[in-house]
Structure formats: structure tokens, C-alpha cells
Amino acid sequence: MEKAYINLIYLVSSILFIIGLKLLSHPKTAVRGNFTGALGMFLAVVGVFFEYGTINQNDIIIIGSAILVGTAIGTFIALKVEMTGMPQLVALLNGLGGLASFLVGGNSLMEILQPGHDTAQLADYQFTISTAATGIIGAVTLTGSLVAFGKLQGLISEKAVRYFGDQIVKVLFFIGSLYLGYLNVIEPTKIEWYWYIVLVASILGVLLVIPIGGADMPVVIALLNSYSGLAASATGFVLGNNVLIISGSLVGASGILLTQIMCKAMNRSLPNVLFGGLGAATSSADTGDIYTGKTKSTSAEEVAMLLDMAQRVVIVPGYGMAVAQAQHAVRELYNQLTDKNIEVEFAIHPVAGRMPGHMNVLLAEADIPYDKMKEMDEINPTFNTVDVVIINGANDVVNPLAKTDPGSPIAGMPILDVDKAKTIIVIKRSLSPGFAGVPNPLFIQENCLMYFQDGKKATQEIVTALKDT
């Protein structure tokens, strides 16, 4: 196929990626956005096959089989992975993107070094520098994402793993990977330099993510997503493939922007994230000393009476709601309250859950109207007019210690100002701390009632009690 037609396919593919990203910005158009992006990727794959070889019957069979296998795997994952497992899946897919990038970079270098192959490309600094960048970023993305996956899946400790001099060790490995990249550029005929890059960068990826606690995983996932895009873009320069450069740049740029948003939501700096200084939980005081004799328990019937007298109710979803798969029960509660002409809104903290937008996705899955989901900055000034706040499985994002304790791991993190509401209902299995590992003084506030129960069951009990009021 002529180069002009291939470039046209790549152009259409790139446009579809951009449109897909735009559509993904709103739940009502997100499904179309997914399909649009998938179509763009399909066209990009087709364009690659046309660009790098003559398509014959055997090629069609191979390409078709690969597409069918990939579609089957993707469909299986989409049907089997629960919403609570979506952050882990995103982390794993980020890692696979990094793996594909550095394997393609290494294969391109090895192909050029084959006997009889034109090695003139090795004198091109764009190729050699891009190859080194692919190895570094791809390997960091792979191992960093695997560590994030392990933390989210519970395979390794979610706590921040710190040790004396850890920052110095990370800097040394970073400098080492850059030096090996330099050697790869000036001596590209020695393929071992490339695989040394991958090895050192792989260790660096582990060292960067292992010190980060589970509470900060939304930031990490956004950052690793950006890394995977940058690795893909570097691979595009290695292959001279425009659509890979464009798509990788889109992912890289959007990931960095999302990381900055997450950092702002957690009052962290980007350098702090890059050097893995997040989530180092300090040893907290004995929760028994803080809570004993000071919490007030409630029941579904009491909550129903409070809700029946309310005019404005705000529901704060958290990871506990996701684990309990309570979003559909929450929708029933929303329906019942709105049928009684009670205003109901949902307060969404930017880092609630395990990945950016986690709570929005869960609520949208349960058909909660998107205009009822209020971001933190929008709803915080209005909490003093709220009659009842129902906190379903959230903890750190409503913890007043972020404002009152400078020594807390969450110090300075913007929180939802639920303490200003008239009555606070906290649905929680126990008084165990959140991922930050610190107690929550909100639970002993005079206007706070604790409903110790699974998020789904508690909500269902409240719905039943409301029917009898």
C-alpha cells in the first residue's frame, strides 16, 4: 500500500484517539469514547501491518487470529474483573504497555545488528537515544506497575516500605540507568548495554513504588499511566511510527495532568511523587484510647427517622462501598429519598477509592445522575446546610487530622468538610483506620453516629426501615 494511504490511516487513527479521550470525559459518552478509541487502535494495527509488509492470505489469517485472541482475552477480563478490581487491572495494563515498549525497542536494535543488515541507522542519535529511553521508561513502568498491582491486590504489604538512605539508593539507580543509556548511545553495537539498562531500570521501578503506601495509589496509577504513554511514544521514535508517537504523547500528557490533579487533591508535590516519598504512615496512637466510650452507635431505624426529617442529604462514597458492592443499594436509597422530595447529592473526593474517578465510575454504573456527583471544591462550602451526611466506607478523605495534626501522614491533604453537617452517619465495619494508618477523630464528634455494618447490608437495612416510616 502506498505511504500516503498508510499515513491517512494513521491520521484517522490519531483523530479517533483524540475524540475518544474527549468522549471519555463524561459518563454519558464514555462508552462511545471506549469504542472510538478501540476503533482508532484497530486502524493503527491495520496500518502497521500494511506499512511493514505485503499482506497475503497467511498474513490475513495470522492477523485475524491475533485480533480474535486479543478480543477474547479483553472480553473475558471485562466480564470477570469486578469494579473493585479495576485499579489493579489498570496498573497491570500499564505494566504490560511498558513491557511491550522495551521489548520492541530491544528487538529493533537486535534486528539491525543481524548480519547483512544495514547498520547506518545506528549512527542516528534519534534512534539510539529513543531506544535507550524506551528501555529505561518501559522497564520502570513494568516493575513499578507490578508492585502497584501487588499492593492493590494484597499480594504484598500496602504499607510504605522505607529504609535508611532509600532516597540515595534510588538516585544512584536512576543515575546508573542514565549512564548505561549513554553507553548504549555511543556504543549501540553492544546489545548487552540495552539489556543492562532494562535490568537496572527494572530495579529502579521497584524502588520507586515500594515506598508508596496504599492510600496514595491513585497518584501512582496516574503517574504510571503517564510513564506507559511516554514509553510508547519513545518506541514510536524508534520505529519511525507517527501514530505511536501521537498516541503515546496523548497518554503521557493526560497522565501527567491527572497526576498533577491528584497531587493537588492530596497536597503533595510532583517531585515528592517521583521520588516515592508518599504514604509513609507513622505509628498512630492506640485507637482504643481514642475511641473507647466516646463513639455512639446507631441503627437502621434511627437513621431512617433522621433521613425522613431531612431536607438535604449528602452521601460520601469510599472504597468500603466499592468492596461491599453497595452502589446499587445506594441507588435504591437515593430513589427513596428523592421520592420523598429530599435533595440528595454525592460528595466525591478526588482520591477516594484506588484510582482516579473510581467512585464516579461505580455510581455511574448504578445509574446515579451525573449532575448529583459533586466535586470536593464545589460541595465543601455547602456542608453547613446539610441535614444528614452518610459516609459509606470512606475514612481518610473525611479525617479532620489532615487539618489539625501537622505530624499526621495526611497532614495538609484537602478533605471533605463533613464535620460541618448537622448529623453525620458513618457506615463502617469497625473502627479500624484507613490506608493512612491513623485514627479518625470524626467518629467521636458529638454529631456523629456510627453504623457498624457492611456497606451494602447497612444501606439495604436503611432502605427497608425508610419504607416503614
Q: What is the pLDDT of residues 263-300, one digit of tens each?
A: 777 776 767 666 655 444 444 444 556 777 788 899 99
Find the helix packing angle between 3-23 and 242-265, rounded to 10°: 20
Give the three-state DSSP class for 440.
Answer: coil
pLDDT of 341 reads 92
Tell me what pLDDT residue 371 has. 86
Greater confidence (88 vs 434) lies with 88
Q: What pLDDT, on the 0 to 100 scale, is given for residue 281?
A: 42
**pLDDT by residue (tens digit) across 392-412?**
988 888 988 888 888 777 777
Helical H segments across 267-318, by residue range: 270-274, 287-291, 300-309
Range with the poorest average pLDDT among 54-68, 164-178, 238-252, 410-424:
54-68
Separation CA 385–CA 400 (nearest Å): 19
Predicted confidence at residue 282, as pLDDT, reads 44
In the predicted model, what is the mean pLDDT of residues 159-165? 76
Are 228 and 98 contacting, i.e. CB atoms less than 8 angstroms apart?
Answer: yes
Q: Is residue 142 scored above 90 in pLDDT?
A: yes
Query: Is the distance from CB of 408 to CB of 441 less than 8 angstroms?
Result: no
Residue 278: predicted pLDDT: 46
Q: Please say if the pLDDT value at position 215 is more than 70.
A: no
d(CA 409, CA 291): 20
Instruction: Tell me whether residue 396 is one of the annotated catalytic residues.
Output: yes
The per-residue pLDDT for 323 is: 83
The span from the CA of 327 to the CA of 368, in Å, is 9
Whether residue 255 contacts residue 225, with contact meaning beta carbons closer than 8 Å, is answered with yes
Which residue is associated with the grid cell 457506615?
427
The length of the chain, given as a count of residues: 469
What domains are defined for the chain? 81-275 (no CATH), 300-468 (3.40.50.1220)
Q: Could you tell me the three cell numbers for 234?
A: 519513545
What pLDDT is recorded for position 292? Answer: 74
Q: Which residues contact 266 (CB under 8 A, 6 or more apart)?
A: 216, 219, 278, 350, 351, 413, 414
The confidence score (pLDDT) of residue 280 equals 46
Q: How far is CA 167 from the centre of its chain?
A: 24
Residue 348 pairs in a beta bridge with: 375
The SS3 assignment for 423 reads strand
User: Would you tell me how many other CB atoms lie within 10 Å of the CB of residue 243?
Assistant: 25
pLDDT of amino acid 214: 63
Active-site residue (options: 286, 339, 371, 396): 396
**According to the model, what pLDDT value does residue 289 have?**
65
Which contiguous run of DSSP H or E holds residue 242?
A: helix 242-265
Q: Strand runs (DSSP E) across 140-181, as ranges?
A: none
